[in-house]
Structure formats: structure tokens, C-alpha cells
Amino acid sequence: MNPTHPVTAPTAAGQLPAVPLTIEGYACLHQMMRFRWTAWRALDEPKRHQISAEAAKLLAEMEANSGGQSALFSLLGHKGDLMLVHFRDGFDELNQAELTLARLQLSEYLEPATSYLSVIELGLYESTLKTYKSLAERGIEPHSEEWNAAIRETIARQEEAMKPRLFPAMPKHRYICFYPMDRKRGEHKNWYTLPMEERQRQMNEHGLVGRRYAGDVKQIITGSIGFDDWEWGVDLFADDPIVFKKLIYEMRFDEVSAVYALFGTFYIGLRCPANRLHELLEGNLPQHAEG
Ligand code: 76R
């Protein structure tokens, strides 16, 4: 028995490590901003134009960035006016994107409302379970050299196969829904004390529900344990916002959400391409057109 994981039930194959393997892709920053409309409107039109043109030029470059794209969204409601979503190769590039934006004249009219830092994460419950079990069956001790080598091999194979999902282009859909979430660590219901097999079963069911929406919604899960105040960030992209409601409602009945999910604040935004920024800042909703 492994005394460091006493809560994980032993299996026929012996004690399995509790942590599922994950693979990570782009670093991801969400910046929710308030726009200082009053100060902005006090500027004359040519000045507003000059400032928004400068910002649009930078945003256009960021939208096309080869090491991870950015996108701007106009937020609905009081939680913020604008949301920038940045995907980058790493935290350095992410921080540079923040600093470059802060140099814009437009930034004098932007006030951070909140932000969220995470990395694109694929949880590999299925292949983790297969790998852990086959290693246990071969009598290979967890965390031994041989075990570590086999795990590294599994991770490398998955990283290669999943590259497009770890380093995605920014989805082009009209609407975004972003919210952070946790898995419950309560006195009676605690996700982290469930055996690996049980978590794998529930995650598999979760995936089956999700997959039925695959054509209507694009989902990007980011992990934020150690980076921000919640454990995961969920980004959903769709051309019809009702799909968010239907998908999330249906998932509430799914065991892993019904019993173990805790949700943070929801943000809903409309995509604003760089070349529509001036329209948006003049108070006109940009039509959905790319390019
Ligand atoms: O990535 C995959 O497609 C594999 C299956 C899968 C995993 C591992 C998957 C599929 N998700 C995974 C992980 Mn998900 N997901 C959410 C939410 O509202 C709620 O109840 C929860 C918020 C939604 C709406 C959603 C949608 N998923 C995760 C994780 C990490 C948990 C962990 O590792 O312990 C969280 C927190 C989470 C939450 N999920 C899908 C979807 C959809 C639509 C799919 C199918 C995607 C597709 O097949 O294209």
C-alpha cells in the first residue's frame, strides 16, 4: 500500500496513483476590462479615431500571432465592457502581451475589472487508467525509474497526437461563454478522494454528453490549479448563445457536475474583430464579419 494515498481504494492490480495525467498547451489569459466611456466621449472624434486605430493595429497583429492568438469580445452586462482572451506559448509571452497592451493610448481608458490565468489542459483519464493498470500488472512500482519512463512515453505520445487541441487557433464564433470552476472538496462529497476508476467513469460520461454538442459548440478547458483562484476555466464558443444554456443545463444533471461541480462568475461576450474596434468604441455593435 502507498501510505501517501490512503483514500484511493486499492484495485485488483494494487494501489494506483491518484493523479490523472494531463498534458498542457497554450498559456491563457482572460482580461476583463471596464471602459471609461465618460472620459472617452470627452475626446474629439479625430483623437478617438487616432487612439482606436493604434489599438486596432496592435489587436490585428495579436489576432494573427503565430505563437498563439488573441481576441477581443464585447461583454454583456455590468461585469465588464471588454474581454481580451490571449493564447500564448508561455507565461513570458502572455506577460509581454499584457505589457504591450498597457503601452497603448487606449489603455488610459481601460480599467481591469478582473482577469483569469490558466493553461490549456487535456485530462487523460482514460489513457492514465490504462497505463497505470498495465504498469501495475507488470509489477512496476509507481514512481520507479521504469514507471517514470513509461509515463513519459505515454505523455509524449499524447502530446504529439493532441497538438491541434493543445495549441488551437482562436475559435471564430460570434459568442463566448467563460467561467471558472472547481471540483468539490466537501466533508461528504470530495472529488479528490474518489478512486481513479470512479473519476474516470464520471469523466467518460461527461465527455459523452459534451460530444453531442460538438458541432454546435467549441469547448476549451484550461487548468488553473496553482495559477488562479479556481481549478479550471471553461471557454465555450458558439454562433447561438442558447446553446450555452442548453449544454450547461444538460450537464448539471450529469453526475460529475450535479455532485462535484462548483461554478464561479459567468462572462458572456460578442466577438469584435480588430477592424471593428472603432465602431464598437463609437457605441455601435460590430456586425459579425471576419477579415
Ligand atoms: O476533451 C475531450 O473532449 C475529452 C473529454 C472531456 C474532458 C477530459 C470533455 C469533453 N471535458 C473534459 C474535461 Mn468538459 N466541460 C466542462 C464544462 O457546465 C458544467 O457542468 C461543466 C463545465 C462544460 C460545459 C464542458 C463541455 N470538462 C473537463 C474538465 C476537467 C476535469 C478534470 O480533468 O478533472 C472540466 C472542469 C470540464 C468542464 N466537455 C467535453 C464539454 C464538451 C462540450 C465536451 C465534448 C467536446 C468534444 O467532444 O468536442
Distance, C-alpha 71 to centroid of its chain: 14
Tell me what pLDDT residue 15 has: 73
Residues 210-258: tens digit of each pLDDT? 999 999 999 999 999 999 999 999 999 999 999 999 999 999 999 999 9
pLDDT at 7 over 90: no
Tell me what pLDDT residue 286 has: 81
Return the CATH number of 24-120+271-281, one of 3.90.1150.10, 3.40.720.10, 3.90.1300.10, 3.30.70.1030. Answer: 3.30.70.1030
Query: Does 207 contact ligand 1 (Cβ within 6 A)?
Result: yes
User: Do the Cβ atoms of 126 and 200 come closer than 8 Å?
Assistant: yes
- Region of poorest pLDDT, from 14-23, 88-97, 277-286: 14-23
Query: Which of 6, 33, 162 shows the shortest CA–CA distance to 101?
Result: 33
Ligand 1 pocket test, candidate residues 178, 211, 221, 245, most atoms within 8 A of CB: 221
Tell me what pLDDT residue 14 has: 52
Q: Where are the beta strands (DSSP E) in the chain?
A: 22-35, 70-75, 82-88, 110-123, 175-183, 218-223, 232-238, 261-263, 267-271
Q: What are the residues facing 267 on neighbouring strands?
A: 178
User: Do the Cβ atoms of 80 and 29 come closer than 8 Å?
Assistant: no
Query: How many of the other CB atoms lie within 10 Å of CB of 253?
Result: 9
pLDDT at 53 over 90: yes
pLDDT at 290 over 90: no
Using a 10 angstrom Cβ sphere, with 0-12 exposed, 13-18 middle and 19 or more buried, the burial of residue 92 is: exposed
Distance, C-alpha 116 to centroid of its chain: 9
Per domain, the residue ranges of the chain are 24-120+271-281
Q: Is 179 among the residues known to form the active site? A: yes
Query: Which of 88, 169, 165 shows the shortest CA–CA distance to 121?
Result: 165
